[in-house]
Amino acid sequence: MTAYQDIIEKIALEVKPLLQEGKVATYIPALSRISPEKFGMSVATVKGELFTIGDADEKFSIQSISKVFTLAMIMDRIGDALWERVGREASGNPFNSLIQLEYENGKPRNPFINAGALIVTDLMILENKDPLQDLLGFVRKCANNPEIGFDAEVALSEKMTGHRNAALASFLKSYGNLVNEVERVLDIYFHQCSLSMSCVDLSRAFLFLANGGTDPRSGKMICGPRQAKRINALMQTCGLYDECGEFAYRVGLPGKSGVGGGIVAVMPGELVLTVWSPGLNPSGNSLAGMKALELFTTYTARSIF
C-alpha cells in the first residue's frame, strides 16, 4: 500500500507540536542528553515494502523493547517452563514497582515489567554460554543487520544509576527466584537494554511476529506460530506497562515500548510499525509516539479489533 508513505508524512506533521511536551528519561544520564525534537517512523510490510519518515534511520537505545527478543529466545528454549517463575498478567503498576513484587512473593506479574525481565535474563544466562553474544546474534539475524551493537555509554550509565533494578534483583534473589548472582544478571540486563537500533532495524526485526514466527524475507523460522501468537498476546496486555489499556483503546495493536522513546507495534499478517520520539509521558511511554500510532490505525482503519 503506497499510501503508507503519504500517511506517515501526514502524521509527522500532526505530531510535531507534541515533541516538546514529553520529558526525556533523565534518570538515565546517557538518555537525558537526547534531543526531544527527534522523531522517526517506519513501516515494514510482510511483502517486503519499507516506508520511512524523519529520523527513522538514526540509532537509539531500545531499552525495554529488548525484552521481546530475550523472551522469544527463552520461550523457544524452555517453553511453558518459563511460567513457573513469572506470570502472564498485566501489572497495573509502574514497570519498576517493588511493592507488587513483595505482595506476590517474588513472582513477577509478567516478563515485560523489570522484575519479570530480570527473570528472563537469569534464564538467558542459564541457557546460553555467551548470553550477550547470543542475544546480539539473534537480534542481528532478525533485523538482517550485522552492524547492530550495544551502546557502552548507555550500559555504563544504567549500571551507575540502576539502583531500583538492583533492588528488584536482590528481592528476587531473596525469594529464591534468581539463580545467578545479582551482579551478573544486572550486567547482562543493562547491556541488553543498551542495544542501539533504528526504527528501520526494529520494524524489520519484529517482522517474524507479523508473519507467524517466520521471517518473510528469508523464509527462516525465528519461532513457532504458537510462540509468535503468545508473544503478540503478551505485548497486547503487558507491553506498555500500566498504560496497556490506553494503548489498546487508542491504537489497537500489540506493542512494546522503551524509555528510550521507541514503540514497536505489530499488525499480524501485514506489517510492523515503529516510532521514535524521546519525550515521554508520565507512564514512561513516548508521548508523540503514542499519538502517531493512534493516528496510523485511525487513518488506515486497521487494527486487531
Q: What is the pLDDT of residues 36-46, one digit of tens each?
A: 999 999 999 99
Q: Is the pLDDT of residue 244 over 60?
A: yes
67 given a catalytic annotation: yes
For 87, the 3-state DSSP assignment is coil
Q: Mean pLDDT throughout 217-230? A: 95
Q: Is the pLDDT of residue 1 over 60?
A: no
Task: Report if residue 108 sits inside a domain.
Answer: yes
Q: How far is CA 237 from CA 18, 88, 113, 139, 150, in A?
A: 26, 9, 12, 23, 28
Spot the catalytic one: 43, 120, 251, 259.
259
Spot the catalytic one: 24, 203, 241, 291.
241
200 given a catalytic annotation: no
Number of domains, the chain: 1
Task: Report if residue 305 sits inside a domain.
Answer: no
Task: Report if residue 30 sits inside a domain.
Answer: yes
**Over pLDDT 90: what percentage of the chain?**
90
Q: Is the pLDDT of residue 94 over 90?
A: no
Cell of 250: 487508542
**163 CB contacts (<8 Å, ≥6 apart)?**
none
Task: Report if residue 118 sits inside a domain.
Answer: yes
Q: Which of 194, 203, 173, 205 is nearest to 260 (CA)?
A: 194
Q: Mean pLDDT throughout 213-221? A: 96
Q: Which of 216, 215, 286 is nearest to 250 (CA)?
A: 286
275 given a catalytic annotation: no
CA distance 242 to 92: 5
What's the pLDDT score for residue 2?
63
pTM: 0.96
CA distance 121 to 144: 23
Residue type, 139: V
Angle between helix 287-300 and helix 3-15 axes, rounded to 10 deg: 140
What is the separation of C-alpha 212 from the centre of its chain, rounded to a whole number of angstroms?
18
Q: Is residue 127 within 8 Å of residue 180, measured between CB atoms?
A: no
Task: Report if residue 243 sits inside a domain.
Answer: yes
**Tens of pLDDT, residues 148-206:** 999 999 999 999 999 999 999 999 999 999 999 999 999 999 999 999 999 999 999 99
Q: Mean pLDDT throughout 92-102? A: 81
Window from 20-29, 43-52, 97-106, 152-161 with minimum mean pLDDT? 97-106
CATH code: domain of residue 155: 3.40.710.10
Spot the catalytic one: 38, 42, 46, 67.
67
299 given a catalytic annotation: no
Residue type, 250: R
Cell of 265: 507495534
What's the pLDDT score for residue 91?
84
Higher pLDDT, 59 or 103: 59
249 given a catalytic annotation: no
Split at pLDDT 50, 70, 90, the class of 216 is very high
Q: Mean pLDDT throughout 122-144? A: 97
Residues spanned by the domain of 49? 3-300
227: Cα within 13 Å, side-chain hemisphere = 21
Strands (E), the chain: 40-45, 50-54, 60-61, 149-150, 195-197, 255-257, 262-267, 271-276
